[in-house]
Structure 1
């Protein structure tokens, strides 16, 4: 889908996007516009706040069916591999933004880039989970639940609450943090995720967070091959949470292989599954792994 943009030149080869126009709220920005490499997203680019476009260049005439992709009119943004910087308040007040795709080459981020983007729960990072990334700096600006999807796995960071409490008469304040999600966001070494540190947070997480949050952390780490979470998954009923995952069938197969799901769990999951395609695959898995039992037909449910 073609988009219209206002941009300004950074140098003779690259540009900064200042405003985007499209026919729908799903934006896919190309690597090159008018022959220039797209390297930056400008300040307030996707915000409703007015941006000075008097010196900017418009790449195409804006069709009547297009609208400004800002504020509540943007739900998904895919940034190209050429992007290196996100400007200040780039997504400020994008209250319907749900997902964002980031390139591995991102190396700079401005102030309050994601302020009030409380529905942004999925970031797709174009790199592998053990690569050096800019993720720690990104996470400092996101306090709510966020799932980071890499090319080879996903990791979940729960929300946390933070504020300053006055602890002295001379307006001395101390930072008060509630939620293990903050400590999990600090688990990085030399730009890479420190999974030993992240996993060490799990015990305290179990004492503080909801079952759904705990399961989300556990199942994603389990799918990445961590054995630490097997005992937790074996000890808890999984069926009420698994339905929300798109790749539930892949998860179920691995859970059975690791003895974290038995036949009774699978039968309950099948009986509650509304999606016909998923239900069919799950029944095939049951017949494959628990062949001694009679197979089910659709009429059994």
Structure 2
């Protein structure tokens, strides 16, 4: 992997804080600093990363450690160039249309303190599939608002800091979309919502995620979503069971026990040997299911996973020795 070369920020000084108006880099990752010129970076300005801005961005550029050949300046980090954004805890506000039509943007790291979201800030950001959010004590999170702006399936690494300790949950918010359906005889148009993601995005009280409500949606999810996604959900909640009630734990376990081969296949696809070990420890694979998992590893050419599964089968399902009687 090439070394990350850094982000150069164009900024304006507001009343006691910094507003970022644009960024440029030779990379496609925007890492925003917590402080510039001795002031906290508290705002991402309107159209800061969008290529659709009507006027050139204004402000002062920060220094960049590395430059291109013959002092070449890096290009603006905007629109389709943007792949990843990392915000510090100091950022409170994201301005209107800040990421408008950043269609290739995939990964977003931020804190719950980023909770003032401008209109259309994430419009057109249909490529975001991963979020990493750290929830700070007694800070209203902006996660709910951001999730409602993005209707695609999103995996979320959810960290909670409290009393000097950090808790962790690995969550999934499925996709949803709305469709206008015309009832010609009645001369009315109705909006129909498809996908379980809409219900999952309502699992908040105010801006606080309620895990019991989140977990209660699982049955509905299994009815409308694909098997791999439901298996992923069950594995995530059982492996990282933050605030997981007993009744919901049993439902996740029951589903996973019926889809053990799918769970192994997902771990093998990702070459996640730790997850594969966890599955074999926490669930009882039959000899037939283990054989199917070995076949999956062979198809995927996952040699490490294949070797591990074959060793496991040998140690847990030893062939019976033949006895000869004279």
TM superposition score normalised by structure 1: 0.83
Equivalent in the alignment of 1:7: 11
Per the alignment, do residues 282 and 179 of structure 1 end up closer, same or farther by CA in structure 2, a change over 3 Å counting?
A: same
In structure 2, runs of 5+ residues without a counterpart are 160-167, 320-326
Whether contact under 8 Å (2:113, 2:139) holds in the other structure is: no
1:218 aligned onto 2:227: no
Q: Give the Å deviation of 1:19.
A: 0.4
Instruction: Report the counterpart of residue 172 of structure 2 in structure 1.
Output: 156
Q: 2:277 is matched with which residue: 232, 253, 267?
A: 253
Equivalence for 1:179: 195
- Counterparts of 1:257-276 in structure 2, within 5 Å, are 257-259=281-283, 261-271=285-295, 272=297, 273-276=300-303
| 1:92 corresponds to which of 69, 91, 100 | 100
Residue 116 of structure 1 and its aligned partner are, at CA, apart by 1.6
Counterpart of 1:22 in structure 2 is 25
CA spacing shift, 1:54–1:220, aligned 2, 3 Å: closer
Does structure 2 conserve the Cα–Cα contact (< 8 Å) formed by 1:249 and 1:282?
A: no
Query: Retained in 1: the 8 A contact 2:82–2:102?
Result: yes
Query: Which residue does 1:196 correspond to in 2?
Result: 212
SS at match of 1:18: strand
> For residues 131 and 59 of structure 1, what CA distance do their matches in structure 2 show?
30
Q: 1:101 & 1:264 partners in 2: Cα distance?
A: 41
1:24-68 CA distances to partner (integer Å, 9 max, x unpaired)? Answer: 101211111222211111111111023545752222388525111
Identify if the C-alpha distance between structure 1 residues 266 and 108 changes in structure 2 by more than 3 Å, giving closer, same or farther.
farther
Report the counterpart of residue 40 of structure 1 in structure 2.
43
**Deviation readout 1:165-193 (Å, 9 max, x if unpaired):** 56799997644211111011101124322
Q: Pick from 223, 239, 250 the counterpart of residue 207 of structure 1.
A: 223
Q: Does 1:243 align with 2:251?
A: no
Q: Deviations over 1:242-267 (max 9, x none)?
A: 33446x32322332333254454445
What is the CA–CA distance in structure 1 between the aligned matches of 2:294 and 2:45, rounded to whole Å?
48
CA distance, structure 2, for counterparts of residue 121 and residue 97 of structure 1: 9
TM-score norm. by structure 2 comes to 0.77
Q: How many residues align?
A: 290
Larger radius of gyration: 2
Q: Please give the alpha-carbon distance, in whole angstroms, between the structure 1 residues aligned to 2:48 and 2:174.
A: 28
The alpha-carbon distance between structure 1 residues 34 and 129, as it changes in their structure 2 partners (threshold 3 A), is closer
